[in-house]
């Protein structure tokens, strides 16, 4: 079944493996996706591109972690151009994934579009699982025979009721090697942003030397993927600069924007630098990228690049930052820095800020301090009544760092609403800063002793 382990291992050294689901519309892709992505984030706000059309998430099976990507529906579009475009998008996702699940539908049998997609998939040296969905009764099992004509191994599944699901997951994780994810001793920085905001210009002025990564597969070396840079003798790793630099210093070719690559880099970093083009302001794709950083719970800095083009009399840094925060309202805690990568303006100021924010992410507040703080917060505003009864918060404690997480203990869990959590977060930031860092809250119910 597995055609190439080499590729798989190669990509895993860069972070979590990616599993993409492809298939026609309505075969059950999102049902399977939702089953696999159990860890629903506690984030309720409506992030652009995250809550509305959630296309990626983290899956865990027996301690193995990987990223799931739903590629959206593959349909015969009436318009040939659109059809080509959709097909290209699906195949780009395939190209970048480590494992592909090709999902089909038992109730419709093999459709011409299935065969076409399979023909295309065969051109990639990927591990592909051919899964026939909606097998939820003996009648449907009959339907399976039709699929054997495709000449590939078939996994029967009911994404809805879970038949065949455990077997599928067991087979998938058996193909994932033990995590080779190296914990770097140096801070890992991901530089993310849409095409033409100035990523490669910035990378080129930060980098000193390329780092070669030796593949665990004998006889092969892998292109340099990460690069080192130094600031006052301290090392930093820029994640996946190959993707940014490959177009070359001089070339003005338009970058083929890869959402999956961005996703992987974000997952892999200690801090994300989100680059914006001052001239364009915050556009939808910027919001989407920032939304992914936020959902991945990573510390971040927003860089407003091309600040050299701005008439400083017309707009101040503070005003510009305010506009950014309006558009990226879920990132009000993230600092906005103006730079001009093209002439290295303020670029070195980045490193002290990176250090500061990573330190914030690892900061611990003592339970004693937190509870003094808690009493003041409650004195300002108590949680509203829940079913006509008072909601009490007994105490708060920091349970983790990177990103920081706090557990609050209450007499009524349902009584602590999101609105109150947001109020607490705001107070917590006013007191303890946590600049640039997301904060997680957990609510636990306790009987009063």
Contacts to ligand GDP by CB under 6 A: 193, 195-201, 244, 255, 305-306, 308-309, 340-342
Residue 101 vs 320, nearer CB to ligand GDP? 320
Residue 440: closest CA among 403, 392, 385, 415: 403
3-state secondary structure of 135: coil
Q: Minimum CB separation from ligand GDP for residue 196, in Å?
A: 4
According to DSSP, the residues that pair with 439 across neighbouring strands are none
Q: Minimum CB separation from ligand GDP for residue 321, in Å?
A: 17
Neighbour count for residue 449 (Cβ, 10 Å): 4
Q: Minimum CB separation from ligand GDP for residue 306, in Å?
A: 4
C-alpha to C-alpha distance for 427 and 14, rounded to whole angstroms: 37
Neighbour count for residue 156 (Cβ, 10 Å): 20
Q: Minimum CB separation from ligand GDP for residue 179, in Å?
A: 30
Residue 258 vs 402, nearer CB to ligand GDP? 258
Residue 308 vs 440, nearer CB to ligand GDP? 308
Residue 161 vs 251, nearer CB to ligand GDP? 251
Residue 100 vs 302, nearer CB to ligand GDP? 302
Instruction: Please report which helix (H) or strand (E) contains residue 398, including its range.
Output: strand 393-400
Q: Minimum CB separation from ligand GDP for residue 320, in Å?
A: 14
Q: Minimum CB separation from ligand GDP for residue 351, in Å?
A: 18
Residue 10 vs 287, nearer CB to ligand GDP? 287
Tokens 């910027």 correspond to what residue? 286
Q: Minimum CB separation from ligand GDP for residue 303, in Å?
A: 10
Q: Minimum CB separation from ligand GDP for residue 285, in Å?
A: 12
Residue 29 vs 306, nearer CB to ligand GDP? 306
Q: How far is CA 140 from CA 101, 129, 155, 271, 325, in A?
A: 20, 19, 13, 48, 52
Residue 104 vs 303, nearer CB to ligand GDP? 303
Q: Do residues 274 and 293 touch, judged by C-beta distance below 8 A?
A: yes
C-alpha to C-alpha distance for 90 and 20, rounded to whole angstroms: 9
Q: How far is CA 313 from CA 240, 319, 337, 359, in A?
A: 37, 12, 18, 35
Pull the structure tokens for residue 281: 């302001």
C-alpha to C-alpha distance for 22 and 439, rounded to whole angstroms: 34
Residue 177 vs 195, nearer CB to ligand GDP? 195
C-alpha to C-alpha distance for 146 and 135, rounded to whole angstroms: 13
Q: Do residues 143 and 156 touch, judged by C-beta distance below 8 A?
A: no
Q: Minimum CB separation from ligand GDP for residue 191, in Å?
A: 9
Residue 193 vs 438, nearer CB to ligand GDP? 193
Specify the long-range contacts of residues 409-414, CB closer than 8 Å, at least 24 apart: 409/444, 409/445, 409/446, 410/383, 410/443, 410/444, 410/445, 410/446, 411/445, 411/446, 411/447, 411/448, 412/386, 412/445, 413/443, 413/444, 413/445, 414/386
Q: Minimum CB separation from ligand GDP for residue 241, in Å?
A: 10
């Amino acid at each position: 079944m597995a055609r190439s382990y080499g590729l798989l291992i190669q990509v895993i050294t860069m972070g979590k493996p990616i599993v993409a689901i492809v298939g026609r519309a309505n075969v059950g892709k999102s049902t399977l996706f939702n089953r696999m992505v159990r860890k629903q984030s506690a984030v309720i706000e409506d992030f652009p591109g995250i809550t509305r059309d959630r296309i990626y998430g983290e899956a865990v099976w027996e301690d193995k972690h990987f990223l799931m990507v739903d590629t959206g529906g593959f349909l015969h579009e009436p318009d040939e151009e659109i059809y080509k475009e959709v097909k290209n998008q699906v195949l780009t996702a395939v190209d970048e994934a480590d494992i592909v699940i090709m999902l089909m539908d038992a109730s419709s049998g093999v459709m011409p579009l299935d065969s076409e997609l399979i023909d295309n998939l065969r051109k990639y040296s990927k591990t592909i699982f051919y899964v026939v969905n909606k097998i939820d009764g003996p009648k449907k099992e009959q339907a399976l025979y039709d699929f054997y004509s495709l000449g590939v191994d078939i996994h029967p599944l009911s994404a809805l009721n879970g038949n065949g699901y455990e077997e599928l997951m067991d087979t998938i994780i058996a193909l994932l090697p033990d995590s080779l994810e190296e914990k770097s001793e140096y801070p890992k920085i991901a530089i993310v942003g849409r095409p033409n905001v100035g990523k490669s210009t910035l990378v080129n002025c930060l980098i000193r030397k390329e780092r070669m990564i030796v593949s665990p597969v004998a006889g092969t070396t892998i292109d340099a993927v990460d690069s080192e840079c130094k600031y006052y003798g301290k090392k930093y790793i820029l994640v996946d600069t190959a993707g940014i630099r490959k177009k070359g210093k001089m070339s003005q070719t338009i970058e083929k924007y890869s959402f999956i690559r961005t996703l992987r880099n974000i997952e892999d970093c200690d801090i994300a630098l989100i680059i914006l083009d001052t001239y364009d302001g915050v556009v939808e794709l910027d919001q989407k990228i920032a939304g992914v950083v936020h959902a991945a719970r990573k510390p971040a800095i927003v860089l407003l690049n091309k600040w050299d083009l701005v008439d400083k009399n017309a707009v101040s840094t503070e005003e510009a930052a305010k506009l950014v925060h309006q558009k990226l309202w879920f990132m009000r805690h993230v600092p906005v820095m103006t730079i001009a990568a093209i002439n290295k303006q303020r670029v070195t100021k980045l490193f002290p800020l990176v250090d500061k924010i990573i330190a914030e992410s690892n900061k611990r507040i003592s339970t004693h301090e937190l509870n003094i703080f808690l009493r003041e917060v409650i004195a300002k505003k108590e949680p509203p009544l829940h079913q006509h009864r008072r909601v009490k918060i007994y105490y708060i404690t920091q349970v983790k760092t990177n990103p920081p997480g706090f557990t609050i203990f209450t007499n009524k869990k349902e009584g602590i609403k999101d609105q109150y959590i947001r109020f607490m977060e705001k107070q917590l930031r006013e007191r303890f800063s946590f600049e640039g860092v997301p904060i997680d809250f957990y609510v636990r119910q306790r009987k009063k002793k």
